[in-house]
Structure 1
Amino acid sequence: MTQSFTHLNEKGEANMVDVTEKAVTQRIATAEGFVHMESATLAMIAQGEHKKGDVISVARIAGIQAAKKCSDLIPLCHPLMLTKVTIEFELDTAQQKVRVLATCKLAGQTGVEMEALTAVSVACLTLFDMCKAVDKSMTIEGIKVLNKSGGKSGDWQR
């Protein structure tokens, strides 16, 4: 079965998908990303000793704000009425990285994968921004959707 791109019309032009007739269902998506850094930088974050303050709290707020602004950033995304956004951080000292996990939820006619991806991306970028003065070697990697539920296509998990 051949799939077609949903954001292209019959002429191949970009267009916003019409979701008018789609059923309103509960939709949830979770995405993750990683910020790799020097062990000293990770320790500074873990111990709350960064001179810019609580970088995790700032990154959490940035991720939530980003999810809410997704349609302003990605041209063909629908503006959504999110009912819940969570951003979690797991500090992994063994692998010198922070795992960022974002979950977005709503009752609506279209999925929230883009909102979860945007939330993770901006939270990672915020960690990078706040720590770049002490660690220029950081990398952001592995941003991806882990799972989604709801809608006509049902549940999906990586």
Structure 2
Amino acid sequence: MENFTHFNEQGRARMVDISGKDLTVRTAAAVSKVVMHPDTLKAIKQGGISKGDVLAVAQIAGIQGAKRTSDWIPMCHPLPLTGVNITFGDNEEDELYIRAEVKTEGKTGVEMEALTAASAAALTVYDMCKALQKDMIIGPTLLESKTGGKNGDFVRDQNK
């Protein structure tokens, strides 16, 4: 178990000690999508959802999710985020795309914050539109890229 940093000498879970690590700029981007009926996507884009502006609320939920990741994921450190940006796109048919970009200057990465932000935004889209359609599909949700830290940069191979 010595290769897994989230286990102590007894094999039990622990929060990794990052006190000796250097402060560096860390970024991460994650994406998710929500697949829905074309009429649902059209209603979102035209402001026809009775609960309000779906994308505005999902954007705030994504930002809030990034900021509160350590409340959701037990071994995550609370991080002072320096930026969170949530953007949306669609295929003009039945897929809504969500991209979350997170940045900090810290001792640990923000991959989990980006993934949580994308997930929170997608879940909010579902919540706001479930009266119109209950069989929406969320996902996949995945890390697109990350920079900084001792393990270096990562960019997902888009061909896989």
Q: Does 1:33 align with 2:32?
A: yes
Q: Is the 8 A contact 1:30 1:147 kept in 2?
A: yes
Match of 1:52 in 2: 51
RMSD of aligned alpha carbons: 1.3
Letter in 2 for 1:33: S
Structure 1 partner of 2:129: 131
TM-score, length basis structure 2: 0.94
Query: Does the Cα contact within 8 Å between 1:46 and 1:91 map onto a contact in 2?
Result: no
- Return the TM-score normalized by structure 1: 0.95
CA distance in 1, matches of 2:150, 2:35: 37
Query: 1:62 aligned to 2:68?
Result: no
How far 1:3 moved relative to its partner?
8.3
Query: When the two structures are aligned, how many residues end up with a matched partner?
Result: 156
2:62 is paired with a residue of what secondary structure? helix
1:141 CA drift (Å): 1.1
Alignment of 1:2-151 (within 5 A): 4-94=3-93, 96-151=94-149
Return 5+ residue gaps in structure 1 as ranges.
none
Query: 1:86 is matched by which residue type in structure 2?
Result: N
Sequence identity percentage: 51
Establish whether residue 156 from structure 1 lines up as the match of residue 154 from structure 2: yes
Gaps of 5+ in 2: none
Distance 1:154 1:60 in 2: 29
Instruction: Give, in whole Å, the separation in 2 of the partners of 1:142 and 1:63.
Output: 16
Displaced runs of 4 or more, over 6 A:
none
> For the structure 1 residues 3 and 34, does the alpha-carbon distance in structure 2 shift closer, same or farther, using more than 3 Å as the test?
farther
The residue type equivalent to 2:83 in the other structure is: K
